[in-house]
Amino acid sequence: MLQGIAAGVGAAFGPSILAERLLASPATNVPPLGNSTPKRIVFFMQNQGFDPKTCIPSGMKNSGSLAKAKLPEPISPLEPYKDRLHIINGLHGLHTSPSHSAFFGALGGYRGSDGVPPSAPTIDYELSKVLPQTLLPHLCIGMDSIENMTTKPTLATLSASGAGQPIFMHSNPNHLYQMLYGGISTGDIRKQHEARTSLMLQIEQFAASKGRALPAADSQRYDQYVQGFKEANGLRDRLGAVSDHLRKFAPEVDERYTNPEFETDWHDRLLDLGISALTSGITNTLTIGSGRGEIFGAWKGLGVEQQGHNLGHMDQPDNPIWIKIRQYNSRMLVRIMEALESVPEGSGTMMDHTLIVYTSNNADKQHTNGANWPVMLLGNLDGAFKSGCFTQLDGKRPINALYASLLRAAGQNVDRFNMDDKQAKKFDAGNGPLKEVLA
Amino acid sequence: MTAGKQVRQTSSLAFDVHRSVWGALLCFSFGMFSLGMMSSADAETYTPGQPLEKDYESFAGAFLADHCIDCHGETAPEGGLSLQDLGPVDEINAGTWRSVWAQVSLQEMPPPDASELGVVDRLQFSDWIVDELSRVMRDKGGFHDHRDPNKGNFIDHDLLFGALPEEIRLVPTSSPARIWRVTPQEHITRLNELINTEPEYDPEKPGLRTHGDVVPTNHGGELKLYFGVDRIIKWQGGTVAYATSVKSVPAILSSARKHGLENYPDFYTVNSAEATQILDVADDIIRYMAEGPLSIAQPYQITDDPASIADKMVGDLRGLPTSLVYSTKVVRPLTPVYDLMKEDGVTDQRVRGAVEFLFEALTYRPPTDRESNQYLQIVNESIQKLGKEDGAVLGLSSIFLDRDALFRPELVEYGSPDPHGRVMLQDWELGLAVNHALRYIRPDDELRTAVLAGRMRTRDDVRREVQRMLADDSIRKPRILQFFRDYFDYDLGGYICKDNKALAETGVNARGVSHYRAMFDATASTDRLVELILHEDKDVLKQLLTTDKVVATKTDEVYFGRKRTPEETAAAAAEAKRAAAEETKEASAALKSAKKELAAFEQSMKANPDEDTAKKQRELTAKERAVSAAEKKLAAINKRRRDTENHSVDQADLSGPNLFARVSRRSFGNGSMKPERVLATAPEGQRLGILTHPSWLVSHSDAMDNHAILRGRWVRERLLGGGIPDVPITVDAMLPDEPHSTLRERMRVTRETYCWTCHEKMDPLGLPFEMYNHAGLYRTLELDKPVDTTGEIIDSGDPELDGEVADAIEMIQKLAESERAEQVFVRHAFRFWMGRNETLHDAPVLQDAHRAYKESGGSMNALITSLLTSDAFLYRTRTEPGMLAESK
């Protein structure tokens, strides 16, 4: 099955992307300058909740340094990286209706539920718009059972570009590979890429030809439609133009792409592709939905035979199954950090200009009212965030406040995110970014 | 009717106090003297909308000098706003000019005690500002206010329905040539036709969703296309497991959900992410068209005997597509796409068959030869590159992105202009315009045949087809229902996010998603009520405003109930407690008695083992069962007591004949929406028409409380035809946060002078609805004090209407009798079906439509027929209406 060149990327491509920027940013010393300073953000949303006991070091009740603390077993793979880690406990999402999942509300900071369409843009999309421009401003990947990923290779549950405008996440690594690296692919993927390329060019021509006779008032609006194809085709051209560069970052296509033994084979490959999109500079915002925002999901490749809803009904602390899943997540986080660390950028590495936000679309557990919404940050986004510490908040500030902090760090002068003053009176004891987490 | 009569009687007090420049813009005063303009008007005739060859200095500057500068001059200008140096329209001062336009168009300015401004002068000045703002803002996002349906009322109602001044010259009307992007709902309904077979209309169950109805939103209010749910006969798990395992895709095209008319042709386009996602969905659809559930399931999952695959359904499969079992009965439409894909090999004939079928299914017209050949070539090329299956799927997907699959053209590229430069729609453009006016699915055979036979070219052709379709209930006409959704805005309740505590205080169930589900159910119920009134087709607007009928679910007994006073609640709780205690006592006694009988019988059996016959055993069993039943009864009573009974609401008795409402396909397992309803009568004296139903009331509420301003605005705009300028951006629109004050008390801030200019148009019309709380329950108290439900109709344009009202019911009764309200309703119908705001040139069309409605005894069908056979619907011009037309 072929996939859209840009399905899942939100409402817009970078309108005037510069290939040289893509080439320059990872490898050369580009001085910080306004929003041209390379920055990127990764959201990792594990479903079923994130129990604070599985991330807060034992005995740690108050805010403080993690230097002398030992991370709990579920996140033990992060132990070597705890100087970059910031564990935040005590945000809330009471207004997001997170029981089972807040769906779009998790990243939107508004009420969400099964079947409820997004009511506003989500934070990942908003950040993708304001971070330095890349070829593909926003990439969403979703990990699920193999059956769900094959039957529903794209799904929209977590990210949105506006009210009623869901952003689709990719779950079939073959399709995603074709989208990102079709130009340097071989074999079947190459053939599909070429067929699709040809098709899209013809569609663009048709669309353009049917726009010639339009009245002036409509032609501008219709031009946006035609322009969409031009952008999609242009993206492919631009990716093609930097194929030598991409080759350095594109993952090897192995047999697990077409013949996965477990769903985790695809999870790993999706992550590879997501990481490569960051390291190659194709994108600056990556959203990872492990469990795809819903209350199911499978990890048979970890030896977890139970799947889906049952996992959410289990207590997470000291649960061998959840230790496996959380450690798997943590190893993924380590992979992202190591990959970004390996690419020089400015006077340091890509990781220096990156922030990873790890949390759950389900707050702290599956059946929750959202009174506590634990979050882990990794990295500091050019020193914007504190790291190596644990912060205990009082439960009176919403996840929206964290999102407003992210926007601040991305250079936006905002005090709130998706929360008007009236709502804030009830749900936010403060205003502006979370001073406890910003450096 | 003279111009002077149109000037509203505004108290000059309203302009005394100003807080900010923006505040001042709401109420800037014109000068006292306007003799110069009056004399110039007398000398001219004017065709509204015609290009004005007038410059700033000699025209607008002079206008400002004559009318405005006295009060808004350099020295101590009213409200601190000086228009002395406003100057020609430019990007910087566009905001100020925009407000000037609104104030002049709405006749807020000049105030009546300041000057008399001629109709022509006012129109010319207003048109000049529109022209200039359009020109200046062309490359900066444009100026669209005059096209905004929420500003349609900026055209003076009395000029549309009364006699025009002699100087005004009208030209035969038309609408601009245009393309009209389909709505998300139209699009999903269109795609749904490819993969799902909806049931035929059943006259015995007219409310059930049927072929031709829209794909409704699901249990959570999301619009989705579902694959194969009509064949699912078994699944594992409950509601969420089902929702996760079925295949569905959300609406791809975006639409901003707002109050009012949702879709004009110039609202939307298709962006690149949407286009590419359409291509992906097309892939899924074509494969489903070809293979059915096999495209989304394993072969073993398709069986009529789920037990036979028990060995495959091992373990916990909840939430997985493999947890589903599909019946073997093929129910999807089998089309030429199926024919193409099912057989080996490829022939041009089969490919062309699939192309032409799909093209018409997506664009609703047959392809031209050129189009057919183009797509044939694309599909063949794709097949050459990728092989039959993948190639055909990819190639055919391209048709989903044809312009005419996403936009409906009304371009009149063929046909001769009449002397006014107008070209009448014809053939497919006319056929599809008529079809789209009523339906979301493709034209039926009769309309299709009429187009192909050259019988869709005249007004009579349109009348014939419109009347035929309107008369046939089996031809579903969801566009009419959509008009009523747009007009009333009763379909937003499920999207209003409620504060849980505030919701619980209303008396409804605030747990989980219960309230939101109730609201989506309420929307479907109100839909059905509208349909029932449309079916009668008599005094439609009046009936909608005053009906005592309610289409209801069981839950509505609470929503249509009355919130009890604390005393009543306490009494009800005490009575329930007493009754429960009584019941418990009786049940306990019965249990004790049953146990006693059983014990005695057992004793007897034990004492007389020889009598242990089969008969005795049966008796023993019966007594054991009696004990068990008594235990269960007692347990049930105790459970009921433990469950929190709702004593705070006097539930409405909503009984009546059974009927159905149109709800979505199964989207949430057993928790999916149910179509069953009753047609009941609302509690007497508490409700009157749709505006008093929870669906409308909650749609016009917010998280914490009623939204009296929004409700008042609705009445002002949709019934009285008044216009409200945009809220100045610097205005702090917050009411004070005072939990112990009523909404009316908190709204005192809007009475401050600079707010009241606008708010007097809304608040007194919205506050009568305070007789309901923000979940729509009738109440007599607010914050434990008698609720104040008074209001006033102020300056409605019809002196007969003006005056104080005791509550919403009295207000609605007055408005329902109003001819003006009827005319305003016609104006909104015009906007919906023409896809644009009315201009003065549409006055004859509006008057005809109103006459048709009135003379037919309030028939919606007559109104629609009049509109769809009007020049505004039939004719197109290649530029704005009135601009190209002759001015004589």
For position B35, what pLDDT does the model report?
31
- Chain A closest-CA separation from residue B402 CA (Å): 7
Asked if residue B418 is part of any domain, the answer here is no
What is each CA distance from B486 to B149, B255, B735, B859, B866, in whole angstroms? 11, 14, 28, 19, 20
Residue B584 sits in which domain range? Answer: 566-647
CA distance B15 to B720: 24
Asked if residue B732 is part of any domain, the answer here is no
Percent of chain B with pLDDT over 90: 70
**pLDDT band at residue B257, thresholds of 50, 70 and 90?**
low
**Average pLDDT of chain B to the nearest whole number:** 89
For position B142, what pLDDT does the model report?
81
CA distance B875 to B174: 5
Query: Is there a single domain that holds both residue B375 and residue B235?
Result: yes
Q: Please check whether residue B429 is in contact with residue B397, taking contact to mean a CB–CB distance below 8 angstroms.
A: no
Please write down the HEC assignment for all residues of B544-560: HHHCCEEEECCCHHHHC
What is each CA distance from B760 to A34, B376, B765, B811, in whole angstroms? 48, 63, 8, 16
Strands B791-793 and B803-805: antiparallel
CA distance A229 to A249: 26
- Among B580, B613, B647, which residue terminates a domain? B647
Q: Is the pLDDT of residue B16 over 90?
A: no
**pLDDT band at residue B260, thresholds of 50, 70 and 90?**
confident
Q: Please check whether residue A282 is in contact with residue A177, taking contact to mean a CB–CB distance below 8 angstroms.
A: no
CA distance B146 to B132: 13
CA distance B641 to B544: 41
**pLDDT band at residue B1, thresholds of 50, 70 and 90?**
very low
From the list B272, B321, B737, the residue facing A13 with the nearest CB is B272
- Chain A closest-CA separation from residue B880 CA (Å): 9
- Among B382, B410, B438, which residue terminates a domain? B410
Q: Is the pLDDT of residue B561 over 50?
A: yes
Segment B353-374, tens digit of pLDDT? 999 999 999 999 999 999 999 9
Count of structural domains, chain B: 6
Contact B385 A194 (CB under 8 A): yes
Query: Is there a single domain that holds both residue B523 and residue B640?
Result: no
Query: Is there a single domain that holds both residue B810 and residue B828?
Result: no
- Chain B closest-CA separation from residue A387 CA (Å): 35
For position A239, what pLDDT does the model report?
87
Percentage helix, strand, coil for chain A under 3-state DSSP, each rounded to 5: 45, 15, 40
For position B39, what pLDDT does the model report?
35
Contact A166 B250 (CB under 8 A): yes
- Among B770, B793, B816, which residue terminates a domain? B816
Contact A2 B283 (CB under 8 A): yes
Q: Which has the closest alpha carbon to A37: A264, A331, A346, A326? A: A346
Query: Is there a single domain that holds both residue B40 and residue B102?
Result: yes
Percent of chain B with pLDDT over 70: 92
ipTM confidence: 0.82
Full DSSP string of B307-355:
GGGTTTS-S--TTSGGG-EE-S---SPP-HHHHHHHSSS--HHHHHHHH
Contact A95 B497 (CB under 8 A): yes
Full DSSP string of A277-297:
HHHTTS-SEEEEEETTTSS--
- Chain B closest-CA separation from residue A61 CA (Å): 30
For position A113, what pLDDT does the model report?
85
For position A9, what pLDDT does the model report?
36
Substitution target in B272, B397, B709, B774 with the highest count of A β-carbons within 10 Å is B272
Strands B423-424 and B875-877: antiparallel
Segment B412-460, tens digit of pLDDT? 988 899 999 999 999 999 999 999 999 999 999 999 999 999 999 999 9
pLDDT in tens, chain A (439 residues): 222 333 333 333 333 333 334 443 333 333 333 456 789 999 999 999 999 999 999 999 999 999 999 999 999 999 999 999 999 999 999 999 898 899 999 999 998 888 888 889 999 999 999 999 888 889 999 999 998 898 888 889 999 998 888 898 999 999 999 989 988 988 888 899 999 999 999 999 999 999 888 888 788 788 888 888 888 888 888 888 888 889 999 999 999 999 999 999 999 999 999 999 999 999 999 999 999 998 888 899 999 887 666 788 889 999 999 999 999 999 999 999 999 999 999 999 999 999 999 999 999 998 899 999 999 999 999 999 999 999 999 999 999 999 999 999 999 999 999 998 888 988 999 999 999 999 9
Task: Count Cβ neighbours within 10 Å for each residue of B654-678 and write b for 16 or more, e otherwise.
Answer: beeeebbbbbbbbbbbebbbebebb
| Out of A294-308, B208-222, B521-535, least confident range | A294-308
Contact B411 A215 (CB under 8 A): yes
Which amino acid, residue B225?
Answer: L
Q: What is the mean pLDDT of residues B183-209?
A: 95
Q: Is the pLDDT of residue B69 over 80?
A: yes
What is each CA distance from B252 to A356, A396, B186, in whole angstroms? 29, 37, 11
Q: What is the mean pLDDT of residues B50-79?
A: 84
* Residue of B404 and A27 predicted with greater confidence: B404
Q: Is the pLDDT of residue B52 over 90?
A: no
Which helix (H) or strand (E) is B650 found in, with range? strand B649-650
Q: Please check whether residue B845 is in contact with residue B872, taking contact to mean a CB–CB distance below 8 angstroms.
A: yes
**CA of residue B444 relative to chain centroid, distance:** 25
Q: Is the pLDDT of residue B25 over 90?
A: no
For position A345, what pLDDT does the model report?
93
For position B710, what pLDDT does the model report?
96
Query: Is there a single domain that holds both residue B718 and residue B780?
Result: yes
Strands (E), B416-468: 423-424
For position B643, what pLDDT does the model report?
62
Chain B CB contacts of A232 below 8 Å: 272, 275-276
Which amino acid, residue B741?
Answer: S
| Out of A318-332, B236-250, B719-733, least confident range | B719-733
Substitution target in A47, A110, A116, A157 with the highest count of B β-carbons within 10 Å is A116
Q: What is the mean pLDDT of residues B482-499?
A: 94
CA distance B260 to B699: 12
Chain B CB contacts of A213 below 8 Å: 411, 413
Chain B CB contacts of A204 below 8 Å: none
A353: left (phi over 0), alpha (psi -120 to 50) or beta: alpha
CA distance B229 to B242: 10
Strands (E), B242-332: 247-250, 325-326
Asked if residue B655 is part of any domain, the answer here is no
CA distance B75 to B39: 28
What is each CA distance from B712 to B685, B716, B759, in whole angstroms? 21, 6, 9
* Packing angle, helices B566-607 and B614-642, rounded to 10: 160
Query: Is there a single domain that holds both residue B467 and residue B548?
Result: no
- For A169, nearest residue in chain B (alpha carbons): B277
- For B371, nearest residue in chain A (alpha carbons): A206
Q: What is the mean pLDDT of residues B282-293?
A: 97
Task: Count Cβ neighbours within 10 Å for each residue of A395-423 and write b for 16 or more, e otherwise.
Answer: eebbbbbbbbbbbbbbeeebbbbbbeeeb
**pLDDT band at residue B881, thresholds of 50, 70 and 90?**
very low
pTM of the model: 0.85
For position A165, what pLDDT does the model report?
83
Query: Is there a single domain that holds both residue B222 and residue B273?
Result: yes
Q: Is the pLDDT of residue B215 over 80?
A: yes
Query: Is there a single domain that holds both residue B161 and residue B210?
Result: no
Query: Is there a single domain that holds both residue B49 and residue B186?
Result: no
- Burial classification of residue B883, based on how many CB atoms lie within 10 Å of its CB (0-12 exposed, 13-18 middle, 19 or more buried): middle
Substitution target in B244, B300, B407, B731 with the highest count of A β-carbons within 10 Å is B244
Segment B374-384, tens digit of pLDDT? 999 999 999 99
DSSP SS3 for B664: coil
- For B248, nearest residue in chain A (alpha carbons): A152
Asked if residue B223 is part of any domain, the answer here is yes
Query: Is there a single domain that holds both residue B324 and residue B473?
Result: no
Chain B CB contacts of A426 below 8 Å: 499
Largest CA distance in chain A: 72
CA distance B421 to B374: 34
**pLDDT band at residue B607, thresholds of 50, 70 and 90?**
confident
Give the highest mean pLDDT range of A333-342, B20-29, B90-99, B616-625. A333-342
For position B564, what pLDDT does the model report?
97
Query: Is there a single domain that holds both residue B627 and residue B586?
Result: yes
Contact B254 A119 (CB under 8 A): no
Asked if residue B128 is part of any domain, the answer here is yes
Asked if residue B417 is part of any domain, the answer here is no
Query: Is there a single domain that holds both residue B534 and residue B642?
Result: no
Percentage helix, strand, coil for chain B under 3-state DSSP, each rounded to 5: 50, 5, 40
- A253 DSSP assignment: P
Beta bridge partners of residue B805, listed in sequence order:
B791
For position A186, what pLDDT does the model report?
87
Strands A40-46 and A285-290: parallel
Asked if residue B749 is part of any domain, the answer here is no
CA distance B763 to B749: 11
Q: Which has the closest alpha carbon to B774: B743, B739, B729? A: B743
Asked if residue B740 is part of any domain, the answer here is no
For position A45, what pLDDT does the model report?
98
- B596 DSSP assignment: H
Radius of gyration of chain B (CA): 32
Chain B CB contacts of A163 below 8 Å: 256-257
Chain A CB contacts of B702 below 8 Å: 422
Q: Dihedral of CA B158/B164/B169/B175: which sign?
A: positive
From the list B243, B255, B315, the residue facing A115 with the nearest CB is B243
